[in-house]
Structure 1
Amino acid sequence: MREHEARHAGRVADTTGVVPNVTGAPVGEMVRRWRKRRHRSQLDVSIGADLSARHLSFIESGRANPSRAVIERLCDELDVPLRERNAFHLAAGLAPAYPERPLADLGVARSAVEVVLAGHEPNPALAVNVRWELLAANAAMQVFLDGIAEELLEPPVNVLRATLHPAGLAPRIQNLGEWRAHTLRRVRRQWERTAADGLPELLAELESYPVHATGDAGGASGHDLVVPMQLAGEHQVLSFHYAITVFGAARDVTLDEIAIETFFPADAATAAAIRVA
């Protein structure tokens, strides 16, 4: 299994000390920003987080500084990712609450990723982070990598860039317009959900790529269940749909951001071709 891991290992922070605010934004402003991102009112969030509306108002205005417990209740209610939760704690003058370790150091979680990837063969599967950077893949992923320019496969490999770039998989995608539109929607939803650094820039880059001449204009494929990726193979068009697996109740930033994408044949002809590949 090939791996492209973070270049620095995260550390478990001292959760009792007080540290400077290095985030640049007051914690109250961050709470308000995430509340608006989730389209929630102060009253609604205060009830869900078991706070008074006055207390939440004071936090957002900077008149009160939330405790670690209050930050966690607010983040739970607003479904804030662990990386951003650490930023909340830092903004409140507290140490980060969640470690960040590379995939190699995640123990049984890493083993679970390996089991899923290997167990999914002969079908393709890969693990990515929140920005769709490749962390690991099984041998069957080679069906997607053939013909991709070497520079797009230099780590960290961004699988969406490698898919939609004109020197990537795009010329082989028969329904490129439809698949491109689907992919761009995924990035927009990911940005709305996570506010992860780099996603707006990635979205702008992907939007700048042209639709290949052999691709469609973005209309429906006529498939009756899901939008498949229709990929020109050596002898036939291969059609795949995918499922996403994430870890529940993660307590590590890296683990919180890992998604495993497993591809399945969308028709009998593709299933037969993959079995004999």
Structure 2
Amino acid sequence: MTTTNTAAAEPVGVLLRGWRQRRRRSQLDVSIAAELSTRHLSCIETGRANPSREMIRRLCEELDVPLRERNGLYLAAGYAPVHAERAFDDLGAARAAVQAVLTGHEPNPALAVNVRWEMLAANRAMGLFLTYLPPELTQPPVNVLRATLHPDGLSRRIRNLAQWRAHVLRRVRRQLERTSAGGLAELLAELEGYPTPGSSATGPVNDLVVPLHMATDHGELALLYTTTVFGSPRDVTLDEIAVETFFPADRATAALMRAAAL
């Protein structure tokens, strides 16, 4: 079982207060929702009271604290961590469900990533994009965002690079704010440090979503994406998995993806 390191540095009350403030919630709001008095919550946050395991669970549920960070809160309060962290290949039915989504999404690309955007699994269609990467960007674990925005990566083929880069950076900033996941701040700094494309690096306008416009050896692709996460996870690894599925944004892309799969 792997746990976060944040608990070693801060008392449990300070950590809980940090998550409440991160969620922009008042003590009154949280205390009502978690069914405890505002005075009790204040005592917990200031270290005058130590929360029970059940109280930590209730507060974490209300504040939507990621499972990895919940383990740190339990440790900081003097309790054993609750949530196991299994390897991706040891997730049993959940691992099979991820593979079913990836396989069933052919001929369109799909992949599973962890909270640091490291690729855990991908379908065959995703291989079309991986072939355009230099060897240094395909060493496992492949970081999908690094491979996309690195000057030597897919960025050379993305027609609307300025638009897509801005979208990706906003997404990572929101993810960091929501999860406080280790390694994300460093990844964001790296991505922000890559050369900024000129404003002319834009593709055709789409009034529904921000699509990914990419030139390939088969023709130009226009793709939109959806993100799928597991509901009610109890395992740290499962809690941090997202399945990214790409769909054709126009008929020409749909035809190209079908042809590339033959």
TM-score, length-scaled by structure 2: 0.95
Q: Which runs of 5+ in 1 are unaligned?
A: 1-9, 14-20
Name the aligned partner's letter for residue 63 of structure 2.
L
Between the aligned partners of 1:159 and 1:206, the Cα distance in structure 2 is 11
**Is the counterpart of residue 61 in structure 1 residue 12 in structure 2?**
no
Q: Quote the offset at 1:22 in angstroms.
A: 5.4
Name the aligned partner's letter for residue 251 of structure 2.
A
Alignment equivalent of 1:216, drawn from 178, 192, 200: 200
Aligned residues: 258
Q: Quote the offset at 1:180 in angstroms.
A: 0.1
Question: SS of 1:72's equivalent?
Answer: helix
Name the aligned partner's letter for residue 174 of structure 1.
R
Cα pair distance change 1:220/1:51, threshold 3 Å: farther
Between the aligned partners of 1:216 and 1:258, the Cα distance in structure 2 is 35
Name the aligned partner's letter for residue 38 of structure 2.
A
Q: Which residue in the other structure is 2:23 paired with? A: 38
Alignment equivalent of 1:276, drawn from 252, 259, 262: 259
Q: Quote the offset at 1:146 in angstroms.
A: 2.2
Is the 1:178–1:221 contact (alpha carbons within 8 Å) kept by the matching residues of 2?
Answer: no
Name the aligned partner's letter for residue 147 of structure 2.
A
Q: Quote the offset at 1:216 in angstroms.
A: 3.5
**Is the counterpart of residue 168 in structure 1 residue 121 in structure 2?**
no
Q: Deviations over 1:107-129 (max 9, x none)?
A: 00000001000000010000000
Tell which deviates more after alignment, 138-147 or 111-120. Answer: 138-147
**Is the counterpart of residue 81 in structure 1 residue 41 in structure 2?**
no
Between the aligned partners of 1:261 and 1:53, the Cα distance in structure 2 is 40
Question: SS of 1:64's equivalent?
Answer: coil
Spell out the pairing of 1:92-103 with structure 2 (5 A cutoff): 92-103=77-88
Q: Quote the offset at 1:161 in angstroms.
A: 0.3
Between the aligned partners of 2:58 and 2:7, the Cα distance in structure 1 is 22
Question: SS of 1:241's equivalent?
Answer: strand
> Percent of aligned pairs with the same residue?
65
**Is the counterpart of residue 225 in structure 1 residue 174 in structure 2?**
no
Between the aligned partners of 1:151 and 1:226, the Cα distance in structure 2 is 32
Question: SS of 2:8's equivalent?
Answer: coil
Q: Which residue in the other structure is 1:104 paired with? A: 89
Q: Deviations over 1:120-177 (max 9, x none)?
A: 0010000000111100000100121122111111111110000000111000000000
Question: SS of 1:237's equivalent?
Answer: strand
Name the aligned partner's letter for residue 174 of structure 2.
R
Name the aligned partner's letter for residue 267 of structure 1.
D
TM-score, length-scaled by structure 1: 0.90
